[in-house]
Amino acid sequence: MQIDVISSVNEARTEDFLRKTVIVIDVLRATSTIITAFDHGCEEIVPAETVGEAKALQQEGDLLGGERFCRKIMGFQLGNSPLEYMSPVIGGKRIILTTTNGTKAVRRAQKAENILIGSFLNGRACAEKASTFHRDVVLLCAGTNSQFSLEDGLAAGYIAEHLIKLKQDAEMNDFGRAMIASFKQEAGDLKGALSHSVNGKKLCRIGFDEDVNYCAKMDLTDTVPVWNGHSLHVSMPTARSKTIALS
Ligand code: MLT
């Protein structure tokens, strides 16, 4: 098995995904939000690239969620704070979600054989699920405006480390090795690492420091959202799934 970590959407080419399992990672905050939404009963998430597309996709009963410049979009019911998605309001709902980088990364991975949603919140479960497909794995860091974001690389390192334990003959690209080393260096204080990252500082500055702390939590859940060709869903609740709670 080959495991490649790609530093940002900008570095990804369609052929990198063919016949592969892609794990999309946007720790701050899109993939952390998606995982949290499913853990709190959301039925389906449709990633949209633009605000206009999200509005056009909305049907009766759907909720619109997402951000621009990290803030809730005017007229949308939900923003992109994972804490907002812990509400009973989202139970059984289809959510149309558009974020600046994360939902674009999911759409960019369309040619993959399997697409999974990963973050620190579900890192171990995500690696376990990816390994069951017996395909090469690409960890796609969403990044920010086509640039690498540290928090995505650290989560990729965390997930890649689990994958290596599961598939000991796996080969990894150099960037993946560097991200495993970075994760190990920062693992003792992930909250600190995230809150000192560019995106973490930006979110803390505008009052989302609780989001940053929450997104640094590891393995809170076994929920791994997957792409079914049209939207994201969770195939079946796993017995070990825990409910994400603020603590
Ligand atoms: C994104 O998709 O760019 C992010 O999730 C932005 C955010 O933190 O709201």
- Dump pLDDT digits (tens) for 22-61: 999 999 999 999 999 999 999 999 999 999 999 999 999 9
Give the whole-number percent of the chain exceeding pLDDT 70.
95
Mutating to test ligand 1, I would choose from 99, 145, 148, 206 the residue with most ligand atoms within 8 A of its C-beta, which is: 99
Is the shortest distance between the CB of 26 and ligand 1 below 6 Å?
Answer: yes
- The residue count of the chain comes to 247
pLDDT in tens, 134-176: 999 999 999 999 899 999 999 999 999 999 999 988 999 999 9
Q: How far is the CA of 100 from the centre of ligand 1 (A)?
A: 6
3-state secondary structure 178-221: HHHHHHHHHHHHHHHHHHCCHHHHHHHHCCCHHHHHHHCCCCCC
Q: Which residue's CA is minimally distant from atom 9 of ligand 1?
A: 70
Band the pLDDT of 236: cuts 50, 70, 90. Answer: low
CA of 98 from ligand 1 middle (Å) equals 9
Residue 102 Cβ contacting ligand 1 at under 6 Å: yes
The predicted model scores a pTM of 0.94
pLDDT of residue 189: 97
Judge if the beta carbon of residue 99 lies within 6 A of ligand 1. Answer: yes
Residue 151 near ligand 1, beta carbon < 6 Å? no
Mean pLDDT of 174-200: 98
Cα gap 217→22, rounded to integer Å: 22
- Per the prediction, the chain carries an average pLDDT of 94
Ligand 1 site-directed mutation target among 9, 33, 35, 67, most atoms within 8 Å of CB: 67
Q: What is the pLDDT of residues 57-78, one digit of tens each?
A: 999 999 999 999 999 999 999 9
- Is 63 a pocket residue for ligand 1 (Cβ < 6 Å)? no
pLDDT of 101-130, one tens digit each?
Answer: 999 999 999 999 999 999 999 999 999 999
CATH code reported for the domain at 2-221: 3.90.1560.10
The CA angle 239-242-246, to the nearest 5 degrees, is 175
Residue 237 has pLDDT above 60, yes or no: no
Ligand 1: residue whose CA is nearest its atom 8: 29
What tokens appear for 46 in the block? 């449709």
List the end-to-end C-alpha distance of the chain, in Å, as a whole number.
37
